[in-house]
Chains A and B, each alone.
Chain A
Amino acid sequence: MKIKEDSSTKWFRLLAYTVVLAGSILCLLPFLLIISASLTSNEAIIREGYNIIPSDFSFDAYKLIFLIPDDVIRAYGVTIFVTVVGTLLGLLLMTMAGYVLQRKDFKYRNFFSFFIYFTTLFGGGLVPYYMLITNYLNFENSMSALIWPSLMTPFLIILMRSFINSAVPDEVVESAKIDGANDFVIYYRIVMPLAVPGLATVGLFLALHYWNDWFHSALFINDAAKYQLQFYLYNIINTTNFLNSIGAGAGVVLSGPVPSESMKMAMAVVVTGPILFLYPFIQRYFVKGLTIGAVKG
């Protein structure tokens, strides 16, 4: 039997579709603006400003970028290197930690969990941290300064602990112990294969963080050849704005290739492209991570 929908249900659905659709458009619109601007000729932007639909369609901005691609490729290289190394190393350490911290027969697991959690409550602040990286670890201007600070977070370790706890039954570990396997063998022979969905989720959280990081380049890197992609983009935007303001103020005519308005936008597309492209495939892992993280604290 099909129950006929009453009028209040119809109104509710109408409201739901309207709000959700409007919200989705608001979320997408800024991306469309950037893409459209990157496909508009620079003259049209100067003349008419940014538009939602390109008024004068042109690929020039992209051609300009790929005419001298060295810098972009180098920045891409830095980001890819940092993301891959950081994610793999972080995952190795966090899976081991998560596994140990959920073992019921590990007596001090609560103490050590709190030792890690406490760092979210209290810290030394930015200046002592800056001193640690530059003066004590001597990471300034090296890839280590980009990899080290984001390697592990308490949130991801706790997430990993919950994942392993729910994916690996205690009995499996116990019977392996009785068979004489040591704890490390249990970890990589039994726990790792069972925890693959958890690995994917935590790994993607970590990789996204590395990919979008600009802050550690800003703090610790002075050598432009070692800028992460995001900071490279940030720098281009700020340099053009600065040059424009000087040029306008002093009537200076700039010679040489100054990044144009459309080129800035094209650069933004080139930088975000991989994320937008991968997003449909990876987003469910994030949803899963948030669900488990929120339910189990």
Chain B
Amino acid sequence: MRKKKGLLHELSKNRILFLMLLPTLLYFLINNYFPMIGIYYAFVQFDFHSSNLFQMDFVGLKNFEFLWKSGKLLELTLNTIGYNIAFIVLVNFLSISVAVLLSEIKGKWFKKITQSVLFLPYFVSFVILSVIVFNLFNYDQGVLNTVLERLGAEPVDLYSKPTAWIFLIIIFFLWKNFGYSMVIYLATITGISDEYYEAAKIDGANIFQRAWYITVPMLKNTFVILLLFALGGILKGQFDLFYQMVGNNGLLFSTTDILDTYVYRSLRVTFDMGMATAAGVYQSIFGFVLIMVVNTIIKKINKEYALF
């Protein structure tokens, strides 16, 4: 008689493996799946005195209505997506360029040390980043104003200039994160076979042509993988970066407020739970739909690149 190979059979055959995996599965069940029930918070009138979610008053879409009417939703969405697109484009451009240049440097020590230095900012905390920003741009003692004064120019108060922060946030994002993707690109370049370069040399291609026609196209796979990961998270902001650079400085919100910082402030600073939950649910669901759409399109174009 043929044995039925169902879940139970597998459970008893590999019970030790199951037991070893169980803590991890429970962790994700509690830590990630259980809070999904909490999406219901967005549909109730939040009550600080009650700890039972299902005893709170159901209000339907009222929280979303408030959020929509506040006019913040469009601004937050555009800021979040806008910054992410700028990050994706610039970080890839910069890290590919530097990786290609770095790979052609012959000095072994120079190469090692500079690669380490370029990767270093990734390792410091975002709190240190905020110290750096303060050190550079604070009105009274900042390096920028010290230099400006020495040159005889008027000092600038950047903390009241929202437009400047678009550039500052992008620059500091690059400063902190470009080393990370550069290391990945550099590893891909190291894996390219020398034969291509030798053949191109024999054909008379100079070093610029070799970089442009061999190295850069070889990075396509890595680029696509990194791009798709980034696109999947396009509604998730760099909360640490924005919060540590801007904090609760309302003067700068018009250009620097993203969905994550708004949700955090609603939860911890203004205690506007209705807004916080509604904005959070909007972010989760809209983000999920975006990932599904991107993934479906990719699957149609090239199955191998699909995220799942």
Residues of A within 8 A of B (CB): 6, 8-9, 12-13, 15-17, 19-21, 23-24, 26-28, 30-31, 33-34, 37, 45-46, 48-52, 93-94, 96-97, 99-101, 103, 105-108, 112, 114-117, 119-132, 135-137, 148-149, 151-152, 157, 182-184, 187, 208, 211-215, 218-219, 230-231, 233-234, 237-238, 241, 261, 264-265, 268, 271-272, 275, 279-280, 283, 286-287, 290-291, 294-295, 297
A183 touching B14, Cβ below 8 Å: yes
Q: How far is the CA of A21 from the CA of B120 in the complex (A)?
A: 14
Interface residues of B in 252-308 (CB under 8 A from A): 260, 263-264, 267-268, 273, 276-277, 280-281, 283-284, 287-288, 291, 308
Q: Do B127 and A49 have beta carbons less than 8 Å apart?
A: no
Interface segment among B77-85, B96-104, B161-169: the answer is B96-104
Known pairs A9-B206, A272-B125; A124 contacts B284 (CB<8 A): yes
**Could you give 25 example pairs across A and B, Cβ below 8 Å?**
A23-B118, A27-B120, A27-B179, A31-B120, A33-B136, A34-B132, A34-B135, A96-B21, A107-B14, A119-B28, A120-B232, A124-B36, A127-B277, A128-B37, A128-B280, A135-B51, A136-B34, A152-B24, A212-B123, A234-B130, A238-B247, A241-B134, A265-B135, A290-B184, A290-B187
**CB-defined contacts of A34 to chain B, threshold 8 Å:** 128, 131-132, 135
Q: How close is A6's CB to chain B, nearest CB, in angstroms?
A: 6
In the bound complex, residues from chain B placing their C-beta under 8 Å from that of A15 are 101
Expressed in whole angstroms, the Cα–Cα distance for A169 and B64 within the complex equals 54
Supposing A28-B120, A283-B116 touch, asked if A214 and B105 sit within 8 A by C-beta, the answer is no
Q: How far is the CB of A274 from chain B (nearest CB, A)?
A: 11
B17 cross-chain contacts in A, Cβ below 8 A: 100, 103, 106, 183
**Contacts of B184 on A, CB cut-off 8 Å?**
290-291, 294
B230 sits at the interface (CB 8 A): no
Q: Is B143 an interface residue (CB 8 A)?
A: yes
Contact: B21 with A283, CB < 8 Å? no
Asked whether B208 is an interface residue with its Cβ less than 8 Å from the other chain, the reply is yes
Are A49 and B35 in contact, with the CB atoms below 8 A? no
- Min C-beta distance of B221 to chain A, whole Å: 9
Contact A214 B35 (CB under 8 A): no
Chain A residues with CB under 8 A of B37: 124, 128
**Inter-chain contact A33/B135, CB cutoff 8 Å:** yes
On whether A27 and B39 interact (CB within 8 A), knowing A114-B308, A126-B263, A264-B131, the answer reads no
Q: Is B32 an interface residue (CB 8 A)?
A: yes
Decide yes or no whether B124 CB sits under 8 A from chain A.
yes
B window 7-35: CB within 8 A of A: 7, 10, 14, 16-18, 20-21, 23-25, 27-28, 30-35
Verify if B250 is at the interface (C-beta below 8 Å from A).
no
B240 part of interface (Cβ distance < 8 Å)? yes
Residues of chain B within 8 A of A128, CB atoms compared: 35-39, 41, 277, 280
Which of chain B's residues 221-263 have a Cβ closer than 8 Å to chain A?
Answer: 222, 225-226, 232, 239-240, 244, 247, 260, 263
- In the bound assembly, the distance between CA atoms of A121 and B126 in angstroms comes to 25
CB distance from B36 to the nearest CB of A (A): 5
Would you call A125 and B118 a contact (CB within 8 A)?
no
In chain B between 54 and 97, which residues have their CB closer than 8 angstroms to a CB of chain A? Answer: 97
B97 to A: closest C-beta gap in Å: 8
- CB atoms of A49 and B128 under 8 A apart: no
Tell me the bound Cα distance from A26 to B94 in angstroms: 14
| B20 and A100 within 8 A (CB) | yes
B288 near A294: Cβ-Cβ < 8 Å: no
B225 interface neighbour in A238, A279, A297, Cβ under 8 Å: A297
Considering the complex, give the chain A residue whose CB is closest to the CB of B10.
A107
Contact B131 A215 (CB under 8 A): no
Cα A294 to Cα B228 with chains together (Å): 12
- B128 in complex: contacting residue of A13, A157, A268, CB < 8 Å: A268
- Contacts A9-B206, A123-B36, A131-B38; is A24 near B114 (CB within 8 Å)? yes
Complex CA gap A30/B131 in Å reads 9
Contact of A48 among B10, B30, B146, B180 (CB under 8 A): B146
- Max count, chain A CB within 10 A of own CB: residue among B180, B211, B239, B267: B267
